[in-house]
Amino acid sequence: MTLATLRADARACLDAALAAVDPAGLVNPCLWRRDDGLVLADAAGRELDRHDGPVLVVGAGKAALAMGRAAAKAAGGACCGGSLIVPHGGGGACPGGVRVATGLHPIPDEAGATATAALLDLVARADAATRVVAVLSGGASALLVAPAPGIALADKQAVTAALLAAGAPIDVLNLVRRHCSRVKGGGLARAAAHAAGLWVLLLSDVVGDDPAVIASGPAAADTGTHADAIAALARYLAPADVPAAIGTHLARGAAGELEDTVKPGDPVLARVQSVVVGDNRTAVAAAAAAAAARGHAVEMVSAPVVGDAAAAGRALAQRVRALRPGSALVAGGETTVRVADGVGGRCQQLALAAAIELAGTPAVLLAAGTDGVDGPTDAAGGCVDGETVSRARAAGWDVAAALAATNSHPLLASTGDLVRTGPTGTNVADVVVALRPAW
């Protein structure tokens, strides 16, 4: 078994992971039509609720178009329209009169703000006979953008960019977002207060699958406070980097002068039912099954891979070096990277750090985002092996310096180690597959 064969096997494992989290394939078992009613079920197929009447389909995220199409098809003639917001370049038609708008990710833009205002207005006008079905996936936190009164879109853009550059984890980013928004932190549930109810189908891209964290919890209770958001900002940003309007808004909220996000026990949550249709574990399990089908003895990493991308890459590579010949290591999660001067993303940074640790070792490690986008690049991640470092040095790279500068993308491009899938239309965080040959 050659390194080329191992690399092909690793890519096949990624392809299997992506197929397992096809959005429509995950929605269909949870939403179907029986007689004249629409049935909601959990991921195990257990029936939860039924609605006989009009259905409004709304949603946002990288997988929202595929999820929305599946929901609209399930609703059939009962679908009375709706609104979906997806990333620029990912638009398309949706049945049932559901409008599709686009916005910018990960930094929100005016198009996303306009689309969100229209979506909230549509939901607010749903009457007591109409069930709202919301489909949410990774990317919705940026695409659903409705700044709180007194906060401009430019303020939201600035604080989002600053937190991303500082390497803040997604839970911190979403905590701040929830407390500066009219749609996050239960805002969608508030808008749907006059509808027959709100069903929420979630494709989770966050560790733990907490509905309050996925897409910043538009239909979920939020236990965080304005004071928590202030503390989170202080951990990652200097006071001068926090837009004045956001600082003032959070301070007023902490002083009790503003309405907080929706809290547990709020009456608007009584008619909300949420179902996680798929998550990172779905993808990881599929990758592991694909590795086993190719003859590799699979070892799963039980804990989600989180924290600094380079540290995670080194730790995973150390485990790979200890694997028995003919084995595979499969993991999932979402790391962070604090951007320095280079170009890259968290998966490429993880892969480059692993390559340094694996130098001279007969092994392959692939790390990729299931959405097909890793940072501000055209790659989903990287697939490195024990010869990556030598190839990089032959191309004139100081590998350690590139890692320190978070300049993984051009280095991996020069060594032929980038993984490119293009936008996948799904998003359940990242998958890592590492293989050792049988020799």
* Domain identity same for 107 and 250: yes
* Domain identity same for 273 and 293: no
Asked whether the beta carbons of 430 and 368 are under 8 A apart, the reply is: yes
Nearest to 323 by CA among 355, 301, 348: 301
* Domain identity same for 306 and 205: no
Type of residue at 257:
E
Asked whether the beta carbons of 142 and 177 are under 8 A apart, the reply is: no
Nearest to 144 by CA among 173, 197, 104: 104
The secondary element (H helix, E strand) that includes residue 34 is strand 31-34
* Domain identity same for 269 and 399: no
pLDDT > 80? residue 1:
no
* Residues whose CB is less than 8 angstroms from the CB of residue 120 and which lie 6 or more positions away in sequence, other chains included: 146, 182, 183, 187, 188, 191
Asked whether the beta carbons of 92 and 65 are under 8 A apart, the reply is: yes
Range of the domain at 408: 3-14+281-435
CA atoms within 13 A on the CB side of 106: 21
What pLDDT is recorded for position 282?
A: 97
* Domain identity same for 354 and 208: no
Q: What is the number of other CB atoms lying within 10 angstroms of the CB of residue 4?
A: 10
What pLDDT is recorded for position 250?
A: 98
* Domain identity same for 310 and 323: yes
Prior bond of 106 cis (ω within 30°):
yes
* Domain identity same for 161 and 253: yes
* Domain identity same for 40 and 186: yes
CATH number of domain containing 413 = 3.40.1480.10
* Residues whose CB is less than 8 angstroms from the CB of residue 256 and which lie 6 or more positions away in sequence, other chains included: none
What is the share, in percent, of the chain residues with pLDDT greater than 90? 94
CATH number of domain containing 237 = 3.40.50.10180
Type of residue at 140:
A
* Domain identity same for 338 and 419: yes
Minimum mean pLDDT range among 149-153, 180-184, 340-344:
340-344
* Domain identity same for 273 and 296: no
Please identify, among 279, 303, 322, the residue that sits at the C-terminal boundary of a domain: 279
Summarised one tens digit per residue, pLDDT across range 81-93 is 999 999 999 999 9
Summarised one tens digit per residue, pLDDT across range 106-159 is 899 999 999 999 999 999 999 999 999 999 999 999 999 999 999 999 999 999
* Domain identity same for 314 and 396: yes
* Domain identity same for 207 and 135: yes
Give the three-class secondary structure for 192: coil
Summarised one tens digit per residue, pLDDT across range 146-173 is 999 999 999 999 999 999 888 888 789 8
Please identify, among 279, 296, 321, the residue that sits at the C-terminal boundary of a domain: 279
Number of domains forming the structure of the chain: 2
What pLDDT is recorded for position 165?
A: 86
